[in-house]
Amino acid sequence: MRSFPFASLRVRMTFLLCFLCEVTLAQELPKTTAEASNYRSTARYEDVIGFIVGLQRSDHDLRVEFFGTSGEGRALPLVIAGPPGVVDPRTARATGLPIVFIMANIHAGEVEGKEAAQMVLRDLVSSSRKLRDEMVVLIAPIYNADGNEKISTDHRKTQNGPPNGVGVRENGQGLDLNRDYMKLESPEARGLISNVLNRWDPLVTVDLHTTNGSFHGYALTYSPPLNPNASADLIDFERDTLLPLIREQMRTKHNKETYYYGNFLNQLTPEKGWYTFDSRPRFGNNYVGLRNRFAILSEAYSYIDFRARVEVTYQFLQEILNAVAKHGKKMMRIANRADEQIRRGKVRKAGVRFEIKPWKDTEILWERCVPADSSAQPESPGETPKVRRTGQIVPVKMTDYGIFAATERSDVPFAYLINTAEEKAVANLRMHGIVVEKLQHDMQLDLEQFSIGGGKLAEHPFQAHHEATLTGKWKRRKETVPAGTFLVRMNQPLARLAFYLLEPRSDDGLFDWNFFDSSLEAEIAPVRRIMKPLAIDATIIP
Ligand SMILES: [Zn+2]
C-alpha cells in the first residue's frame, strides 16, 4: 500500500487545527453563573448581559435588541439567533422559517429557566448551530429583571436551592407579570407585547417557571394554551403531536418523566384527581393561544435540586427546538389557518366564562404522602393538610381535569363600537396590536347595546384591582352613532383577543379590569356591537 505522507500530514495537521480551534472556542464561550458557582448561585442582571456579550465575541451573527425597560430602568435583552442575514423581523420572515421565542424569569424566584435559556443560547452558537438553519430563536433570558435583582435567601424557602438565594415574583411595581397580559400595566409587559409578540410574531412562545405545588413524580410539567376560545386545531396539534413527542424524547433520551401541569386536589387522596390551573388569558400561555400562536408553559419541579432543575429545563428546551425543527412548517400552516378562520368570520360564537372539565382518565405519578405527625416538619408551611413525604413514587389511576369548557357564550360580531370617551381602553387594545379605527361620519346603524343589569366589584383586591363582574343582556337597537366613535373590526387576525377584551361578560376583559368602571352606573355599556357586515367609512388610528 502506497503511503501519502504529505497528505496524511495535512490530514493530521487539519485535525490538530480543528481540535485546537474547538478547544479555543470552548475556552472562549462563557459559563453561566449557575455553572461557574457549582450551582450555588443564579445570575444577576449584569451576569446575563456579560454572558450575552461573551457569546457575541464568538458569533458576530448573534443579535441583541432591547424590548423594553423595566420600571427600575433596566434594559431587557432579546437575543436573536437565526441564520446569517437575519437581523430583524423582516429578514426573519423572508427566510420562511418558524420563529421560536423562549422567555425566562417572569417570576424571578423561579430562576432555572434563566440559566437553561443561556445554555441553549450557547449551544446555538456552538454545538446546535445547525438548528439555526431550521428556525429563528429569540431568547429573553431575564424578563423580570427588577425582581431578579432582589436576590435573597429569604425567598421561596421551600424551593430546593440555589443556596445563595433567588429574586422575587413581582416586578418593581409589585405586579405579577404573569397576570398582566390583558391589562398591560407594567412597562415589561408592554415591551414584551409591542416589541416581541407584535414585532416578531413568534410561532411558538415558551415560558419558563418552577412549581412548588403537589408532590409528584415529574421533573417538569407543562401546559398548552387552556382557553377554549383559541383555535381547536392549534390546541389539538399541541396535545396530540407536539407535547407527546417532546414527552417521549424526554423519557427515551434523557430518562426523565414529564407530564401536563397540575396539582392533586388532595395530596393524601390522589384518586380525587389532578387539576390544571386556569383558562384566563392574564396568563401568558393562554394569552398567546388567543393570538393564534403556540405556547408552552414549562414548570420545573421545585423539590428537586437546582442543578437537576436547570438540567431538565435545558433538556426540555432542546426537545422543543427539535420538535419545531421536525414540525415547524406544519405548525406555521396551522397558525395561518387560525388567523384566516377568525378573519373570515368563521367563528360565530365564543366563550366568555369557563369551568374546568375532566379531560381523561389516566395514571399519574404520585409521591406517597402520609399525614404529618406532630414531630414532622411541614414541607410547605401553610399547606393543608400537612403531610409527610415518603419518597415513594407510584402511578395512581385518576381523572386529569386538564381542560376547560365555556359555561356562557356570546355572539362574535362583525365589529365593536367603543364610545369616544374610552381612550384608555382604546390605548390598551392598540398596545395589543389590535387595529382600531374612527368613524368618519355620524351613522345610523342597526346594532346591539349591552343593557347593564348590575355591576359588582370583587371584595378583595387582586393586582391592585377590584375586578368587576357585569350582568346584563345584548339588545338590538337602531341608533345614530357619532363621528369619532372607535371601531374594531373583527376581520383581523387578533379578533379572538379583541372579543375577549371587549365582551362585557368576559372573565378577563377590560370590563373585568376596571377600564369601564366609570360607566358601570349607566344603563348601557360603552361598547356596542354591529352584527351584520356592512360598509363603514372609518380611518385607522396610526
Ligand atoms: Zn411562575
480 alpha carbon – ligand 1 mean position (Å): 48
Location of C-alpha cell 420545573: 300
Q: Is the pLDDT score of 5 beyond 60?
A: no
212 alpha carbon – ligand 1 mean position (Å): 9
pLDDT at residue 116, as a whole number = 98
Q: How far apart are CA 181 and CA 197, in angstroms?
A: 11
H/E stretch holding 339: helix 306-343
- Nearest Cα neighbor of 57 from 25, 98, 101, 89 is 25
pLDDT at residue 375, as a whole number = 56
The residues, ordered by sequence, that sit 6+ positions from 522 with a Cβ below 8 Å of its Cβ are 452
pLDDT band at 263 (very low <50, low <70, confident <90, very high): very high
Location of C-alpha cell 372607535: 486
pLDDT at residue 518, as a whole number = 86
The values of phi and psi at residue 294, to 5°, are -80, 140
Q: Is 362 helix (H, G, I), strand (E, B) or coil?
A: strand
393 alpha carbon – ligand 1 mean position (Å): 24
Q: Give Cα 196 to chain centroid, integer Å.
A: 12
- The angle subtended at Cα 182 by Cα 188 and Cα 102, nearest 5°, is 50
Print the SS3 string covering 114-168.
HHHHHHHHHHHHCCCHHHHHCCEEEEECCCCHHHHCCCECCCCCCCCCCCCCECC
pLDDT at residue 385, as a whole number = 61
112 alpha carbon – ligand 1 mean position (Å): 11
158 alpha carbon – ligand 1 mean position (Å): 14
124 alpha carbon – ligand 1 mean position (Å): 25
The values of phi and psi at residue 134, to 5°, are -105, -15
109 alpha carbon – ligand 1 mean position (Å): 8
Q: How far apart are CA 263 and CA 265, in angstroms?
A: 6
pLDDT band at 522 (very low <50, low <70, confident <90, very high): confident
128 alpha carbon – ligand 1 mean position (Å): 28
Q: How far apart are CA 79 and CA 66, in angstroms?
A: 9
pLDDT at residue 14, as a whole number = 43
The values of phi and psi at residue 443, to 5°, are -135, 135
Q: How far apart are CA 114 and CA 108, in angstroms?
A: 9
pLDDT band at 235 (very low <50, low <70, confident <90, very high): very high
Q: How big, in percent rounded to 5, are the helix, strand and coil portions of the chain?
A: 35, 30, 40
298 alpha carbon – ligand 1 mean position (Å): 9
pLDDT at residue 17, as a whole number = 45
Q: Is the pLDDT score of 18 beyond 60?
A: no
Q: Is the pLDDT score of 11 beyond 80?
A: no
pLDDT band at 376 (very low <50, low <70, confident <90, very high): low
448 alpha carbon – ligand 1 mean position (Å): 40
Distances (CA, A) of 44 to 263, 338, 366: 31, 39, 35
The DSSP letter of residue 416 is: E
The DSSP letter of residue 376 is: S
222 alpha carbon – ligand 1 mean position (Å): 12
Q: How far apart are CA 460 and CA 35, in angstroms?
A: 43
Q: Is 306 helix (H, G, I), strand (E, B) or coil?
A: helix
173 alpha carbon – ligand 1 mean position (Å): 17
Average pLDDT, the chain: 93
The residues, ordered by sequence, that sit 6+ positions from 127 with a Cβ below 8 Å of its Cβ are none
211 alpha carbon – ligand 1 mean position (Å): 7
Mean pLDDT of 93-98: 98
Strand-pair category, 538-540 with 468-481: unpaired
19 alpha carbon – ligand 1 mean position (Å): 42
300 alpha carbon – ligand 1 mean position (Å): 10
450 alpha carbon – ligand 1 mean position (Å): 37
Q: How far apart are CA 212 and CA 263, in angstroms?
A: 10
The residues, ordered by sequence, that sit 6+ positions from 367 with a Cβ below 8 Å of its Cβ are 215, 216, 217, 389, 390, 391, 392, 393
pLDDT at residue 520, as a whole number = 79
Q: Which residue has the higher pLDDT, 25 or 359?
A: 359
323 alpha carbon – ligand 1 mean position (Å): 24
pLDDT at residue 372, as a whole number = 85
329 alpha carbon – ligand 1 mean position (Å): 30
110 alpha carbon – ligand 1 mean position (Å): 6
Q: What is the pLDDT of residues 282-331, one digit of tens each?
A: 999 999 999 999 999 999 999 999 999 999 999 999 999 999 999 999 99
Q: Is the pLDDT score of 79 beyond 70?
A: yes
Q: Give Cα 348 to chain centroid, integer Å.
A: 27
32-41, 364-373, 504-513: which has the minimum mean pLDDT? 364-373
Most confident by average pLDDT, 160-164, 230-234, 372-376: 230-234
H/E stretch holding 341: helix 306-343
Q: What is the pLDDT of residues 490-500, one digit of tens each?
A: 999 999 999 99
Q: What percentage of residues in the chain have a pLDDT greater than 70?
A: 93
238 alpha carbon – ligand 1 mean position (Å): 21
108 alpha carbon – ligand 1 mean position (Å): 8
Mean pLDDT of 450-463: 95
Q: What is the pLDDT of residues 382-394, one digit of tens each?
A: 445 689 999 999 9
261 alpha carbon – ligand 1 mean position (Å): 12
Q: Is the pLDDT score of 240 beyond 90?
A: yes
144 alpha carbon – ligand 1 mean position (Å): 11
295 alpha carbon – ligand 1 mean position (Å): 15
**Number of Cβ atoms within 10 Å of the Cβ of 478:** 8
Q: What is the pLDDT of residues 149-166, one digit of tens each?
A: 999 999 988 889 899 999
Q: Is the pLDDT score of 16 beyond 50?
A: no
Instruction: List beta partners, residue 365.
Output: 395
- Please tell me the total number of residues recorded for the chain in this structure: 542
> Which set of grid coordinates corresponds to residue 199?
414585532
93 alpha carbon – ligand 1 mean position (Å): 31
Q: Is the pLDDT score of 15 beyond 70?
A: no
- Nearest Cα neighbor of 86 from 96, 75, 99, 95 is 95
Q: Tell me whether residue 313 is exposed, middle or buried, using C-beta atoms within 10 angstroms of its C-beta: 0 to 12, 13 to 18, 19 or more.
A: buried
Helix 5-28 vs helix 45-58: angle between axes, to the nearest 10 degrees? 160
Instruction: List beta partners, residue 89.
Output: none
pLDDT at residue 156, as a whole number = 87
272 alpha carbon – ligand 1 mean position (Å): 25
pLDDT at residue 157, as a whole number = 84
Q: Is the pLDDT score of 19 beyond 50?
A: no
- Nearest Cα neighbor of 391 from 275, 303, 264 is 303
pLDDT at residue 45, as a whole number = 98
The DSSP letter of residue 239 is: I
pLDDT at residue 158, as a whole number = 85
Q: Is the pLDDT score of 43 beyond 70?
A: yes
455 alpha carbon – ligand 1 mean position (Å): 32
pLDDT band at 521 (very low <50, low <70, confident <90, very high): confident
Q: How far apart are CA 206 and CA 357, in angstroms?
A: 25
107 alpha carbon – ligand 1 mean position (Å): 5
Q: What is the pLDDT of residues 392-436, one digit of tens each?
A: 999 999 999 999 999 999 999 999 999 999 999 999 999 999 999
Instruction: List beta partners, residue 139.
Output: 79, 102
Q: What percentage of residues in the chain have a pLDDT greater than 90?
A: 89
278 alpha carbon – ligand 1 mean position (Å): 13
